[in-house]
Amino acid sequence: MKRGITIIMVVFLGFTTMTNAAIVELDLFDLGCPRQYDHDNSTPDPSYWKSDFDLGVTLTEITNVYMDWAGEITAGLAIYDYDPGNPFPLEVGIYASLGFNPSLRRTEVWGGETTYPEPEGFSYLSKIGPSGTVAWSDLLDGEGVITIGYTEFIILFGRYVQHGSILLDKATLSVEGTIIPEPSTFLFFAVGLIVLRRKH
């Protein structure tokens, strides 16, 4: 009986040491993510991009999800309806959202106004949505949907007369959590247990 308990404890301890905290990164350019985003009427729509993805791992826990991105933002030009002769530069933004409820799992970067008409550089590690495994339970299998898009302010009594643009130099999805080992790792561990048991 004691020997059986010992073997069970070895298996348990072996499993807990094999599961490990990690940060999994996915370069979105490898999935076809465009580098430039703006707001015109061409086809396909250059204002957003949407894609399925697979991180290539299975997780037992997700603590945080980030966008690690960098690039340049060129502001737009806007007017108020009551003063159309005085256009002014106004920030535009880029957002990243995950899943089928993107309003809750979204991050944004805005800029360009202070450097207009020249672009403004940015480089951020932006947290997406809430923290914790419950909030990301649909991502535990490593698969999901991501959207990257261009966005502008809603101007009360006004509008953009010249749209801005975003140029991405980096776009990496980063998931922080605990990874389940691959089946081959379990097999290797099981063989080790059998050899150990035979020696005793």
CB-based contact 66:120 (threshold 8 Å): no
Task: Give the whole-angstrom CA distance, residue 193 versus residue 200.
Answer: 11
**Do residue 12 and residue 93 come from a single domain?**
no
**Do residue 146 and residue 106 come from a single domain?**
yes
Q: Which helix (H) or strand (E) holds 173?
A: strand 165-180
The mean per-residue pLDDT over the stretch 60-79 comes to 97
The secondary structure of the chain in percent helix, strand, coil, rounded to multiples of 5, reads: 20, 50, 30
The confidence band for 190, taking pLDDT boundaries of 50, 70 and 90, is very low
Q: Which helix (H) or strand (E) holds 23?
A: strand 20-27
Mean pLDDT of all residues belonging to the chain:
84
What is the Cα gyration radius of the chain?
24
Whole-prediction pTM: 0.80
**Do residue 49 and residue 128 come from a single domain?**
yes
**Do residue 69 and residue 29 come from a single domain?**
yes
**Do residue 32 and residue 75 come from a single domain?**
yes
Which range of residues forms the domain containing residue 80? 21-179
Task: Give the whole-angstrom CA distance, residue 127 versus residue 107.
Answer: 7
**Do residue 37 and residue 106 come from a single domain?**
yes
